[in-house]
Amino acid sequence: MEKKKVLVGMSGGVDSAAAALLLREAGYEPVGCTLRLYDNEDIGEPQEGTCCSLEAVEDARRACRRLGMDHYVFNFSETFRREVMDDFVETYRRGWTPNPCVQCNRRIKFEALTRRADELDIPYIATGHYARVDRDESTGLWRLLRGKDRRKDQSYFLYPLTQAQLSRLLLPVGEYDKQTIRALAASAGFGNAGKPDSQDICFVPDGDYAGFLQRYGGTELVPGDFVDEDGRVLGRHRGLPCYTTGQRRGLGVSADRPLYVLRKDEARNQVVLGDESRLYSRLVWAEDFHWVSLPPAGPLPVTAKTRYSQTEAAGTLYLEPGGTVRMEFDQPQRAVTAGQSLVCCCGEAVAGGGVICRAAPE
């Protein structure tokens, strides 16, 4: 019987290498591919460990060679620049804080994998994400499930996946915890078994977002006023892109109590500071909401996150006219930030997600 081929997105990290190994052991014929997502001329040579560095491409190639797999490198740098990097710049210009990993999955990675799989006549695609996929027999629709290792669960970043993509997607590492995956990779002789996880945005590996906006986006940092909620001037800021909701450090403002960034007023070029208690919101609105399967007929009890690192919290999701959704959390949530994603789950399954557009302070 002929083995079923699967195109595996290989980032050079341990998770995607382990995914290919698990698929081979499960009887598939894995074919590796690495997406080259930006050119060095855009930002300079990517640092070691990032997904687009030359080291990462070579790590992916070595893993494929060890498994006897074909390995392809596909260049999507022009599309990535337009759909992710330019969007990152424009979102910051709006005064929001973007999540480029969600945008990359939505607009680049999974479309690229499915397109290349079609060209190679490969029926399945796979990645090393810590999440799972199954089919709801009662509806016939595919479900995106959270990874079994809650500490590494990456379903938050995958909520934009379509039914067509989910029907072809295999996520083998979602059944395991990270420690087991590293041990599996080590036993297979992968050189990247102990490779640290990347913690930074791939095209801003030094974490200097303001510098990237200036170098790549030509964004001018216009100084303005720090003000309190009554409009009293507290000091001067370096430019709106240098700050995000909830930030405390690096403000350079002297006060008799800790001050936090509550919001940014783009029209007045002001950053509003206040007490931490003013950071909490119970009501959150999200736009461009994507339902993984079908939208509910009415209010939907869910657990949700307003950022990846946040602990999920219970509440109720309401549909509003025009496709916007309103989330009413049972308990107020800290530092809800426009531009980040609201991702909602019903039990193990991801119901859907969207981009946060506003929140109402308590």
Give dist(CA 217, CA 211) in Å, integer: 9
Contact 36, 54 (CB under 8 A): no
Q: Counting runs of H as helices and runs of E as strands, what totals does the chain give?
A: 10, 17
Q: Are 325 and 318 in contact (CB under 8 A)?
A: yes
Q: How far is it, in rounded angstroms, from Cα 357 to Cα 147? A: 27
What DSSP string runs through 170-224?
A: E-GGGGS-HHHHHHHHHHTT-TTTTPPPP-S-TT-TT--HHHHHHHTT------E
- Of the residues 101, 104, 242, 345, only one is catalytic, namely 104
Task: Indicate if 202 belongs to the active site.
Answer: yes
Active-site residue among 51, 52, 64, 202?
202
Which SS3 state, helix, strand or coil, does residue 349 take? strand
Residue 315, SS3? Answer: strand
Does the annotation count 52 as an active-site position? Answer: no
Distance CA 362, CA 359 (A): 9
Pair 3, 68: CB distance under 8 Å: no
| ∠ CA 28-32-34, rounded to 5° | 150
Catalytic residue set: 104, 202
